[in-house]
């Protein structure tokens, strides 16, 4: 039997090699019915059957003997009834089979309670996973399950849940607003006004809290961790504390908040709330302008990963795949920027890595990894930007792993294309399968759900030309059978029940069964480039120390020079590992060092070293102004601290005296042992007021389970203060409610006031 299988596969391989490939690069080739990667073959025997002899690196090691097998053979045959869903037929059996495989996996992802399972290895509903999946294709395919799943991510006070994240979830992680974009997509599919009203109220409450806590008035950007990239050391420098990550301003998270405000404006218009609509539109415009001001890198032709640092922030010039894609898909990047990005953002032979370049010493998960759902958004971006080559590559970058592994995996290693080696992985991954299905709906047929109807903006690469059909496509009160022929992105003719129409759209209130025929013009697109770059790792970040009068650091492997930054800006370049600093720092200065390799590639900035004139800093011990903690905490030593929680010391008033008018930094030293540094939801938040006027928030994230003796600093507020006496107040207000709701607690040691 095994020999027969090998013969069949060999015959399939010969057949594949006799065809002209639809796509080929240095890593793999895609044919109409097969995908070939080195010695491995995935072959579609029919629209309902695929065989693959792929052998991962892990399996190869496990099966190695003196006479190793040539490979293993896996077989997928459709077993679920998918007749209730749209049926797709094209001249490409592999594409058809992968569509059907993804539909089957979607059915397997629906739990008995009619919510979605995140993946085979991931039970339950996660806000960002379900929201991105709904946006990709689940709003259309499973609207009832999508709605139930979204409502699972609403807390008892009617706000969107941030599941988890660095330092105890929101507000360090702040991308929960993708829920709003998903809710709007669900409304556009269904036209359900009750859902529109319900979702609007939930998003309105959630955004109100965000405006108070994470919106940065000084830059116009939104603070918080990278959207979905929530494993801190995978995409942030190791020295960054949770409070530093809160203060960072990320590309993808800002793109999410831009779109959330934009869709809220559209919702408000439909609900007759014109004044609120204008306010949300203003917020969206401000975020878009700020992203293009602070994050766009004209010398690279794409956006920076984030602004980061401690007191002084700087750009991280890495690309961030999801953020780059969303910036194009949501229209944050204009036409010229979008075209530049599609040709200049680095991609690997197996797809677009989450970040580029990679971070040394960090195993693959977000670092050195491709995620198929992110690849799909990059595919959408390529279609919007009109980059045919990128579109074709992205389609194949989604099809290859699904065909080889006969499942939609969560992620894989960017440098090898193998799922072996990633830190965590899962088959039957919801957002991966949702992205695979969206290739048919959102790209090839270009189906656009609008509030008032359905529109078509197809994009078919020339290599995928031919006749294709999508039948049994249910839309509100109608059932559509759609035929399409040709290639390109210009519709030459759009026919409804045989009648030529002036626009490629149908109204939302159309009833009954109808046939649509779309004829594409076969128009050539302008030649466009794709930046397929080798997988590279930046140097490690230098660890600098102050040894008066020198700033010094150990030599970094591979570095040929070092950039010393002062207050977030390049200041000196040196080939040495020390720099003398004499008397030019002022009352407060921050210095940091970046390592540069022979190719000019820079590391992350090392941890900033703050030089503070002792005369410019005042310390205010918290225990002098509030009662000490009435409770005992494991590992907490000393008496110089106070507890603040939802019931204890909800207001701490501290009189401060300012010696001269000027700019001041204000932060506090705190401990939060309510959970680990990387998960759970007990980040503490406090509003800071000066003379009764709110000035911002201090975020006091978790620092380790029962780690009450692990002290760190909150984020710092920069305030203009006048000479004389002021009252600084630390308060727990309703806007400071965290995701846990019940536990919002920290120990405060002292407050620092530093003149800049």
Closest to 615 in 3D by CA, of 753, 479, 501 = 753
Task: Provide the β-strand partners of residue 43.
Answer: 34, 51
Residue 10 reports pLDDT greater than 80: no
Residue 631 reports pLDDT greater than 90: no
Q: Is the dihedral angle over the CA atoms 332, 338, 344, 348 positive or is it negative?
A: positive
Give the start-to-end residue ranges of the domains of the chain.
Answer: 2-77, 154-344, 462-531, 539-603, 615-755
Please say whether the beta carbons of 75 and 8 come within 8 A: no
Looking at residue 18, its pLDDT comes to 53
**pTM score:** 0.95
Looking at residue 67, its pLDDT comes to 32
Q: Is the dihedral angle over the CA atoms 382, 387, 389, 392 positive or is it negative?
A: positive
Strands 588-596 and 561-566, by their bridges, are antiparallel
Rounded to a whole number, what is the distance in angstroms from the first to the last CA of the chain?
77
Residues 6 or more apart from 138 whose CB is under 8 A from it?
A: 106, 116, 130, 145, 146, 430, 434
Average pLDDT over residues 463-487: 97
Looking at residue 3, its pLDDT comes to 42
Residue 335 reports pLDDT greater than 90: yes
Average pLDDT over residues 731-749: 96
Closest to 341 in 3D by CA, of 307, 385, 309 = 385
Average pLDDT, rounded, for the chain = 93
Residue 633 reports pLDDT greater than 90: no
Query: Looking at per-residue confidence, does 462 or 15 come out higher?
Result: 462
Closest to 559 in 3D by CA, of 543, 539, 541 = 539
Looking at residue 586, its pLDDT comes to 75
Residue 639 reports pLDDT greater than 70: no
Residue 66 reports pLDDT greater than 50: no
Q: What is the pLDDT of residues 238-284, one digit of tens each?
A: 999 999 999 999 999 999 999 999 999 999 999 999 999 999 999 99
Give, in degrees to the nearest 5, the angle at Cα 382 between 379 and 384: 110
pLDDT-derived band at 73 (thresholds 50, 70, 90) equals low
Average pLDDT over residues 204-219: 97
Distance from C-alpha of 41 to C-alpha of 53, rounded to nearest angstrom: 6
Q: Which CATH superfamily is domain 539-603 in?
A: Immunoglobulins (2.60.40.10)
Looking at residue 4, its pLDDT comes to 42
Provide the phi-psi class of 421: left if phi over 0, else alpha when psi is between -120 and 50, else beta: left
Looking at residue 627, its pLDDT comes to 63
In terms of DSSP H, where are the helices of 386-466? 388-405, 430-438
User: What per-residue string of b and e applies to 334-366 under the rule 16 or more CB within 10 Å gives b?
Assistant: eeebbbbbbbbbbbbbbbbbbbbbbbbebebbb
Average pLDDT over residues 17-46: 93
Quick one: the chain helix, strand, coil %, rounded to 5?
30, 30, 40
Pick the CATH number of 462-531 from 3.20.20.100, 2.60.420.10, 2.30.30.280, 1.10.357.10: 2.60.420.10
Written out in words, the top-level CATH class of the domain with range 615-755 is: mainly beta
Distance from C-alpha of 381 to C-alpha of 331, rounded to nearest angstrom: 10
Q: What is the pLDDT of residues 293-317, one digit of tens each?
A: 999 999 999 999 999 999 999 999 9
Distance from C-alpha of 318 to C-alpha of 321, rounded to nearest angstrom: 10
- At the topology level, CATH places domain 154-344 in Glycosyltransferase (1.50.10)
Looking at residue 436, its pLDDT comes to 98
Q: Is the dihedral angle over the CA atoms 350, 356, 358, 362 positive or is it negative?
A: negative
Residue 330 reports pLDDT greater than 90: yes
Looking at residue 5, its pLDDT comes to 41
Q: What is the pLDDT of residues 651-675, one digit of tens each?
A: 999 999 999 999 999 999 999 999 9
Residue 676 reports pLDDT greater than 50: yes
Give, in degrees to the nearest 5, the angle at Cα 281 between 280 and 285: 120
């Amino acid at each position: 039997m095994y020999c027969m299988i090998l013969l069949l596969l060999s015959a399939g391989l010969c057949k594949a090699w006799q065809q002209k490939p639809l796509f080929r690069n240095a890593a793999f080739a895609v044919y109409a019915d097969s995908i070939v990667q080195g010695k491995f073959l995935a072959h579609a025997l029919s629209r309902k059957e695929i065989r693959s002899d792929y052998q991962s690196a892990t399996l190869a090691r496990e099966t190695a003997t003196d006479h190793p097998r040539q490979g293993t053979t896996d077989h997928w045959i459709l077993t679920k009834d998918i007749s209730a869903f749209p049926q797709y037929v094209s001249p490409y059996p592999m594409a058809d089979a992968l569509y059907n495989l993804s539909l089957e996996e979607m059915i397997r992802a629906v739990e008995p309670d009619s919510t979605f399972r995140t993946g085979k290895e991931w039970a339950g509903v996660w806000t960002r996973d379900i929201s991105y999946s709904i946006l990709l294709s689940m709003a259309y395919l499973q609207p009832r399950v999508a709605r139930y799943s979204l409502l699972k991510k609403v807390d008892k006070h009617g706000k969107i849940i941030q599941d988890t994240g660095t330092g105890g979830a929101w507000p360090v992680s702040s991308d929960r607003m993708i829920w709003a974009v998903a809710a709007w997509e669900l409304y556009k599919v269904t036209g359900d006004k009750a859902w529109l009203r319900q979702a609007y109220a939930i998003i309105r409450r959630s955004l109100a809290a965000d405006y108070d806590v994470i919106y940065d008035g000084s830059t116009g950007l939104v603070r918080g961790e990278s959207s979905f990239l929530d494993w801190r050391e995978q995409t942030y420098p190791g020295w960054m504390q949770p409070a530093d990550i809160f203060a960072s301003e990320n590309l993808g998270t800002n793109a999410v908040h831009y779109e959330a405000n934009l869709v809220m404006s559209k919702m408000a218009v439909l609900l007759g709330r014109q004044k609120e609509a204008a306010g949300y539109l203003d917020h969206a415009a401000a975020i878009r302008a700020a992203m293009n001001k602070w994050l766009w890198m004209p010398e690279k032709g794409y956006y920076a990963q984030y602004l980061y640092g401690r007191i002084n922030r700087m750009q991280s010039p890495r690309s961030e795949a999801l953020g780059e894609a969303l910036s194009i898909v949501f229209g944050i990047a204009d036409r010229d920027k979008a075209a530049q990005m599609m040709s200049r953002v680095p991609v690997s032979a197996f797809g677009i890595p989450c970040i580029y370049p990679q971070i040394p010493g960090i195993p693959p998960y977000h670092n050195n990894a491709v995620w198929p759902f992110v690849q799909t958004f990059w595919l959408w971006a390529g279609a919007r930007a009109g980059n045919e080559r990128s579109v074709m590559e992205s389609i194949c970058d989604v099809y290859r792993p699904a065909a080889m592994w006969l499942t939609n995996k969560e992620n894989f290693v960017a440098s090898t294309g193998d799922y072996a080696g990633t830190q965590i992985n899962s088959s039957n991954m919801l957002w991966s399968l949702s992205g695979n299905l969206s290739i048919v709906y959102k790209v090839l047929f270009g189906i656009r759900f609008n509030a008032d109807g359905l529109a078509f903006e197809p994009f078919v690469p020339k290599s995928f030309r031919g006749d294709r059909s999508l039948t049994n496509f249910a839309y509100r009160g109608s059932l559509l059978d759609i035929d399409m022929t040709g290639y390109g992105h210009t519709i030459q003719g759009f026919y409804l029940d045989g009648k030529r129409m002036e626009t490629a759209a149908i109204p939302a209130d159309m009833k009954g069964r109808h046939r649509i025929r779309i004829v594409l013009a076969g128009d050539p697109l302008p030649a466009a480039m794709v930046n397929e770059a080798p997988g590279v790792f930046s140097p490690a970040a230098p660890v600098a120390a102050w040894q008066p009068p020198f700033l010094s650091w150990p030599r970094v492997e591979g570095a040929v020079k070092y950039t010393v930054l002062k207050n977030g800006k390049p200041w000196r370049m040196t080939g040495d590992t020390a720099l003398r600093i004499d008397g030019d720092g002022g009352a407060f200065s921050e210095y940091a060092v970046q390592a540069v390799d022979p190719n000019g590639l820079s590391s992350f900035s090392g941890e900033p070293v703050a030089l503070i004139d002792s005369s410019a800093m005042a310390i205010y011990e918290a225990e002098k102004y509030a009662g000490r903690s009435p409770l005992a905490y494991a590992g907490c030593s000393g008496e110089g601290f106070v507890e603040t929680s939802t019931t204890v010391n909800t207001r701490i008033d501290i009189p401060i005296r300012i010696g001269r008018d000027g700019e001041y930094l204000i932060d506090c030293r705190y401990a939060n042992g309510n959970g680990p540094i990387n998960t759970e939801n007990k980040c503490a938040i406090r509003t800071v007021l000066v003379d009764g006027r709110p000035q911002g928030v201090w975020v006091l994230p978790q620092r380790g389970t029962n780690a009450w003796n692990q002290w760190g600093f909150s984020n710092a507020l920069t305030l203009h203060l006048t000479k004389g006496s002021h009252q600084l107040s630390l308060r727990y207000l309703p806007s400071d409610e965290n995701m846990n709701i019940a536990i919002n607690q920290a120990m405060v040691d002292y407050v620092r006031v530093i003149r800049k």
